[in-house]
Homo-oligomer: A and B are copies of this chain.
Amino acid sequence: MISNLEYFKVFYYTAKYGSVTRAAGELMISQPAVSQSLKQLEKSLGVTLLERSSRGVKLTGEGQLLYSYVEKGYEQIESGVEKVRQMQNMELGEVHIGASDMTLRFYLLPFLEKFHEEYPGIKVIVTNAPTPETLELLQSGKIDFGVVSTPFEKEKDITAFEVREIEDVFVAGRRFISYKNKMLDFQELEKLPMIFLENNTSTRSYMDEYLAQEGVILRPEFELATSDMIVQFALRNLGVGCVVRDFAAEYLESGMLFELRFNRMIPKRAFSVVRSSRQTLPEAAKRLLEIMEIEL
């Protein structure tokens, strides 16, 4: 361990300017203070670092050797301080976010755009993963916060904040036009060719569970990886798709798809911002949540 780092700072400035008086000026202390510090340093190292003369100081061999190291070391620390300052000023930094396709596309994207515009120095790193995996990333500290869709198993020290509602809907194209505006029973779905998301998604397991509870067991014709693809399949009349409404919104409006209606409401779900309550957020993450109007 180095005895007194302050001495090295004094030495750094003295060597840099070749003058005790000048160093004192830079350090904003008196000249004798510098002289004494240098003396202390030399004493503690047991070596003469500077040749004193009436027109300044000059490094000895040992002094030169030491200075070559101290110079690099001190400036390294100095630039570390500068980097932290930049981070504080949001000129530098990273925000790690976990989000699913869905939350990213229909909720997060505009905020990220705005954030990036305001703070171009901050890297935004989005890890695209389904809800349970996102929660794991949060627990392990790999992301600052996540945006997931309900429902999910909320473990303790996870703070959740719902930001908007989403609805799961069944949509179909003209081949199934006879079902339009009819009040249907969920049972009737069993007779129709269904297009669903794959099993590993929260949307799928939510629907599976809900329908099972209603006594309906579906065996989808198609199991696709993305909601977009489901919409495309539905448009081509390959079956009845189950997606969050936002994915189909455009086509529902234009009439190319219609929404099936049921005699029972599918309980609404929500997008939820989740974060670890035991971890303080980096400034950049805080600022992004502010933009998203999430109270911390």
Q: A residues engaging B (CB < 8 A)?
A: 1-2, 4-6, 8-9, 13, 26-28, 45-48, 51, 53, 60-62, 65-66, 68-70, 72-81, 83-85, 87-88, 93-94, 278-280, 282-283
Contacts and interface: CB of A to CB of B under 8 A. Distances in A.
A62 B88 contact: yes
A241 B46 CA distance: 53
B280 A88 contact: no
Which label, helix, strand, loop or mixed, suits the secondary structure of the A interface?
Answer: helix
16 contacts: A2-B9, A5-B74, A45-B88, A46-B88, A47-B87, A48-B280, A61-B87, A61-B282, A65-B87, A66-B83, A69-B77, A69-B79, A70-B77, A70-B80, A73-B76, A74-B77
Given A5-B8, A73-B73, A74-B73, A65 B51 contact: no
A61 B283 CA distance: 9
A85 B72 CA distance: 18
A81 B94 CA distance: 36
Contacts of A83: 65-66, 69
